Structure 1
Amino acid sequence: MLQYASLTGVMKTILIILLVYYGIKILSRLFAPALLRYVTKKAEKQFGQQFNQYNSRQEQTKKEGEVSIDKMPNSKSSNKTVGEYVDYEEID
């Protein structure tokens, strides 16, 4: 059985779609700033906690005036077969 869409049914559908679209658009303009503020405050709090944990960990391991070496430099042996070093002076 074949059914045809009536003009009023099509108009109602288009009207409902437009109302939903503009309703979401208006509500997002009202609630988006509050939502963004909430998200930024939450992220700021989380980053602050991570920063404090990092600082407290460093304070526990290092006392004032104490020197620590994290990585020893690789000892490079000079290659004597490269050539002779010649001292020079710059002439103006």
Structure 2
Amino acid sequence: METASFTGLVKAIFTIMVIYYIAKFLMRLFLPAMAQQVVRKAQQDMENQRRNYEEQRNQQYTQQQYQQQQHQQQQEKPKDKPVVGEYIDFEELD
């Protein structure tokens, strides 16, 4: 069984400090690039949402226009008179 020595403790603290400073340096180096990538992705997602919303709105507008045209065409059609019977032309006999 080994006991903890002062040099082992110093080595462990030194190793922890080196790992901490390396991680801090790497974060400063890569974090801005990662943040830019996240922002770009969010912008693309918002642009896609806006584009989809506009497409849906245009489709709804087109459908409404089509329905209005159909309704107007139905209203403009002259209504046929119902056929009640045959027309018979009578002539007077002298």
In the TM superposition, residue 23 of structure 1 has moved relative to its aligned partner by 0.7
Matched, 1:26 2:21: no
Matched, 1:17 2:26: no
- The answer as to 2:51 corresponding to 1:52 is yes
CA RMSD between the two structures: 1.3
Provide the aligned length of Structure 1 versus Structure 2. Answer: 63
4+ runs of 1 displaced by more than 2 Å?
A: none
Structure (1 or 2) with the larger CA radius of gyration: 2
Structure 1: segments with no counterpart, 5+ residues:
67-92
Q: Distance in 2 between matches of 1:42 and 1:26?
A: 25
Specify which structure has the higher proportion of helix: 2
- Structure 2 unaligned segments of length 5 or more: list them: 66-94
Q: Post-superposition shift, 1:52? A: 0.3
Post-superposition offset of 1:4: 2.0
**Identity level (%):** 37
